[in-house]
Amino acid sequence: MYKLIALDMDGTLLNSEGIISVRNKQAIAAAIANGTKVMLASGRPLEGMTQALAELGMTSGTDYVACYNGSLVYRVADKQLLRSQTITGADAKKLALLSEELGVHVHAFSLELGLITPAHNKYTHHEAEINGLEISLHDFTELADDAVILKVMMIDEPARLSAAIAALPDVIYQQYNILQSAPFFLEFLHKQSHKGIGVSTVAELFDINADEVICMGDAGNDKQMIEYAGLGVAMANASDDIKAIADHITLTNNEDGVAAVIEEFVLS
C-alpha cells in the first residue's frame, strides 16, 4: 500500500497551460480521503506553489511541501521549516562569474532579496511570471559572502545553455548538486539538496518507508526522488534519462498522467 505521493509541478501535475486538470484534482482528493498523504516537490519557491496547494486543499498542519528542489521543506499551514540546506553569497558570486565566462545569463534566489539577477533577460522574467515574484536587479559581486542563497541558476537559450553545460569544470560538479529542470534552466544547489532528500524528510516524519512512496516527475531535477521512491514514475513527456530510471511511465501531463497513476496504484 502506498502511503505518500510526491508530485513535481511543471510538466507533471500542471498541464502545458499551467493548470491542474479536474481529473487530477479529483484523483488527488480521493487519495487523500483514502488516507494517502500527497505533497508537492518542486524547483519553485513556496510563493510559486501556494495557488496549487490551495486548489488541492493541501494547507493543513499535516501538509508539507519541498521547495527549491528540496533545499527547503515547509509545513504549509504555518510555514515552519522542517529542513533547510542552502548555499552562500560566495557561491553565487563564483557561479555568476563562471556564467559570464560561459556566455550565459544567471539569476539566483536570495533569502533576503528574493529573485535577483545582474541583467534583465526573458528567462528570469519567465521565472518571475510563473511564480508571481518581483525581479531585483543586483550586482552579485555586492552580495555578502555569508548571504543565504537558496539556489543559483544559469539560464539561456537551450543551445547556448547546452554548450555551457558541456564546458562546466569538473570541480563544479564536486561542489554542487547540478540539476537541469528545463532546456533553458540549469540549477546549482547545496550538495545535500534535492527532491529525494526533501521527500524522504517528509516520509520519515510520518514513519513511511521508501517502498510506500510514489514519486512522479518529468525532468532532471526529479531524478533523485524517482530513484528514491518505491514506485518512481516518469511522465510520457519526460526526458529520456528520466524514463530510463523510472519503474513506470504514465500518460503525459496533458493527458492527466498523475490521475492515471493514482487511479491504478492507489484507488483501484
For residue 144, give every residue at least 6 positions away whose Cβ sits within 8 Å of its Cβ, in sequence order, or none.
Answer: 89
Specify which residues 231 forms β-bridges with. 214
Could you identify the residue written with the cell 515547509?
74
Q: Is 8 marked active-site?
A: yes
Specify which residues 84 forms β-bridges with. 72
Catalytic-role residue among 8, 156, 218, 256: 8
H/E segment holding residue 173: helix 170-175
Could you identify the residue written with the cell 510538466?
11
> What are the C-alpha distances in Å from 40 to residues 6, 73, 260?
6, 10, 17
- Closest Cα to residue 82, out of 204, 176, 179? 204
Q: Which residues are identified as catalytic?
A: 8
